[in-house]
């Protein structure tokens, strides 16, 4: 990522430790399910999260009706257009969550006012159909306590991304599963694990696997910037621990040797050999590991990057001969575009190795049509993997660009190119999925903890994978 080291800031947790999950009564229909929780409450006001799941046929365009008792009113909402008439509030889809397939969910939220008492809504409707589907909740907390108890139900064995797809391989220009069928993995990248370790624990990984339904967890281990070079054994152990946590939840883990400054990966050649020899030896029996050997080379020729790759890849192959390896490309992994080149330099001079893919990174508010055109052309000739992208500027900040982000993800879906979004953290920058302060608490599910970018990315990742098995 092209940015300076992010400052670490903390604010109040939006869905904090005093969340109360409330039951509600409903009429007789089975077209939808709603999970409703009051995240926090104060004199005259409260904040609530609403997860709606479509149990019927696919809908393209929806309205959620919320029937309050007297005295409650929505004052501000997110992830939908909220209005209220009398005791009934209405949430109407925005463009990016317009379509809800069968079994698909979307997270909404609002701040409301109340008087007298604040019971749960009496009913919910989706496009006029009463939501009576059974409700399952993963966190329960009394309003009189200051801690949250979380119970996690992992997906059944055989239904996680790793259980279905097994050991991955590169076939032609595609990432393929154990059935030799092209697949797309969708998931999230950590921020620097030296700064945001609190964001990557059992609760947050449970949320990523079961609330987001992610396939992929990228572990960004910086080499400089207070990273690996300061404590090689400590960071190696931290990476291995996160690999194990991803494996336990059936997610693939990308081990990212996060080189950024200096931009020439050869500066860290010996460190890379030492690190990858260690992690490949330790994780060689696992089938959920992907190795990313150089995050964002910049200011250096493709020939130098290729030379680095052809020295590091054999180190990994000596211990782990089957895993997919990701090779960074020139100009911050833009296939050279950000430094005036294009994909032809890789096509004409590919890395001499098998079972590899080339990385492409983009930030939607900075990189638009000419970058998308490059990916469209290159995908016909090269196996590509978007191991990092953001919905904002290349600095990691700035305004979330929903239109460009949607155009990018539509293209990646069309081409079956796997991706990891930057970042699964509460960094004080607009690229973060969580609101500042979230990682100081224990709640990582629901809409109240998400930024605008996080809500959009979750809605895209949360759609069914439909992995082919024959």
CATH number of 273's domain: 3.20.20.80
Q: Would residue 32 count as lying in a domain?
A: yes
Q: Would residue 212 count as lying in a domain?
A: yes
Catalytic residues: 296, 388
Question: End of a domain among 115, 134, 153?
Answer: 134
Helices 302-319, 269-283: axis angle to 10 degrees equals: 30
Query: Distance between CA atoms of 216 and 94, rounded to whole angstroms?
Result: 26
Alpha-carbon separation of residue 5 from 194, 388, 425 (angstroms): 11, 16, 14
On whether both 183 and 299 belong to a single domain, the answer is: yes
Alpha-carbon separation of residue 296 from 184, 302, 329, 384 (angstroms): 22, 12, 7, 15
On whether both 235 and 189 belong to a single domain, the answer is: yes
Query: Distance between CA atoms of 312 and 354, rounded to whole angstroms?
Result: 13
Q: Would residue 16 count as lying in a domain?
A: no
On whether both 87 and 233 belong to a single domain, the answer is: no
On whether both 259 and 354 belong to a single domain, the answer is: yes
The per-type count for the chain, helices as H runs and strands as E runs, is 10, 24
Count of the separate structural domains present in the chain: 2
Element (H, E) at 129: strand 129-130
Q: Would residue 10 count as lying in a domain?
A: no
On whether both 46 and 192 belong to a single domain, the answer is: no
On whether both 256 and 213 belong to a single domain, the answer is: yes
CATH code, 98: 2.60.40.290
The range of the structural domain enclosing residue 284 comes to 161-461
Residue 159: the pLDDT is 84
As given in the structure block, the two tokens for residue 6 are 């992010």
Question: End of a domain among 134, 151, 170?
Answer: 134
Q: Would residue 142 count as lying in a domain?
A: no
Q: Would residue 154 count as lying in a domain?
A: no
Residue 273: the pLDDT is 98
- In terms of Cβ atoms closer than 10 Å to its own Cβ (0-12, 13-18, 19+), residue 466 is exposed
On whether both 103 and 32 belong to a single domain, the answer is: yes
Q: Would residue 280 count as lying in a domain?
A: yes
On whether both 177 and 218 belong to a single domain, the answer is: yes
Alpha-carbon separation of residue 53 from 120, 126, 135 (angstroms): 18, 9, 10
Residue 105: the pLDDT is 82
Query: Distance between CA atoms of 81 and 291, rounded to whole angstroms?
Result: 42
Cα within 13 Å of Cα(338), Cβ side: 22
Residue 386: the pLDDT is 98
As given in the structure block, the two tokens for residue 199 are 């964001």
Average pLDDT, 10 consecutive residues per value, the chain (470 residues): 40 31 35 81 76 86 88 80 90 82 81 79 89 50 28 50 96 95 97 96 96 97 97 97 96 97 97 98 96 98 98 98 97 97 97 98 94 95 97 92 94 96 96 96 93 95 90
On whether both 174 and 235 belong to a single domain, the answer is: yes
Q: Which of 268, 253, 264 has its CA nearest to residue 193?
A: 253
Residue 153: the pLDDT is 36
pTM (two decimals): 0.71
On whether both 92 and 233 belong to a single domain, the answer is: no
Asked if residue 167 lies in contact with residue 195, where contact means CB atoms within 8 angstroms, the answer is no
Q: Would residue 141 count as lying in a domain?
A: no
Alpha-carbon separation of residue 447 from 100, 108, 109, 151, 238 (angstroms): 16, 5, 6, 19, 29
On whether both 323 and 444 belong to a single domain, the answer is: yes
On whether both 99 and 210 belong to a single domain, the answer is: no
């Amino acid at each position: 990522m092209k940015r300076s080291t992010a400052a670490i800031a903390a604010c109040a947790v939006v869905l904090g430790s005093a969340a109360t999950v409330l039951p509600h009564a409903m009429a007789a229909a089975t077209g939808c399910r709603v999970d409703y929780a009051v995240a926090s409450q104060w004199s005259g006001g409260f904040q609530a999260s609403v997860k709606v799941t479509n149990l019927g046929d696919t809908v393209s365009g929806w309205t959620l009706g919320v029937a309050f008792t007297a005295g409650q009113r929505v004052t501000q909402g997110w992830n939908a257009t909220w209005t209220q008439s009398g005791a009934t509030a209405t949430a109407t889809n925005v463009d990016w969550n317009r379509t809800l397939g069968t079994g698909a969910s979307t997270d909404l939220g609002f701040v409301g006012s109340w008087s007298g008492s604040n019971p749960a809504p009496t009913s919910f409707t989706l496009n006029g159909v009463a939501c009576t589907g059974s409700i399952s909740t993963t966190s329960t907390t009394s309003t009189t306590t200051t801690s949250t108890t979380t119970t996690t139900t992992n997906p059944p064995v055989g239904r996680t991304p790793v259980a279905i797809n097994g050991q991955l391989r590169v076939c032609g220009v595609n990432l393929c599963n154990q059935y030799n069928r092209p697949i797309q993995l969708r998931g999230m990248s950590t921020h620097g694990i030296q700064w945001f370790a609190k964001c990557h624990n059992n609760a947050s990984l449970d949320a990523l696997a079961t609330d987001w339904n992610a396939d992929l967890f990228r572990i960004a281990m910086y080499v400089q910037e207070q990273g690996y070079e300061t404590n090689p054994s400590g960071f190696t152990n931290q990476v291995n621990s996160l690999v194990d946590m991803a494996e336990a939840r059936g997610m693939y883990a990308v081990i990212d040797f996060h080189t950024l400054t200096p931009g020439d990966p050869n500066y860290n050649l010996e460190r890379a050999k030492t690190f990858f020899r260690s992690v490949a030896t330790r994780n060689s029996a696992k089938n959920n590991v992907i190795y990313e050997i150089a995050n964002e080379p910049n200011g250096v020729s493709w020939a130098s990057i290729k030379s680095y790759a052809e020295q590091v890849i054999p180190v990994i192959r000596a211990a782990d001969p089957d895993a997919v390896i990701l090779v960074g490309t020139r100009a911050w992994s833009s296939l050279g575009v950000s430094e005036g080149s294009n994909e032809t330099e890789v096509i004409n001079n590919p890395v001499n190795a098998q079972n590899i893919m080339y990385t492409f990174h983009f930030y939607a508010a900075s990189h638009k049509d000419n970058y998308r055109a490059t990916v469209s052309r290159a995908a016909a000739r090269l196996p590509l993997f978007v191991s990092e992208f953001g919905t904002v500027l290349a600095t990691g900040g700035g305004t979330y660009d929903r239109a460009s982000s949607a155009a990018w993800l539509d293209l990646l879906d069309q081409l079956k190119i796997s991706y990891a979004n930057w970042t699964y953290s509460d960094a004080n920058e607009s690229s973060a999925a969580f609101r500042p302060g979230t990682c100081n608490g224990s709640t990582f599910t629901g809409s109240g903890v998400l930024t605008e970018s996080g809500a959009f990315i979750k809605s895209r990742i949360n759609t069914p994978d439909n992995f082919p098995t024959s």
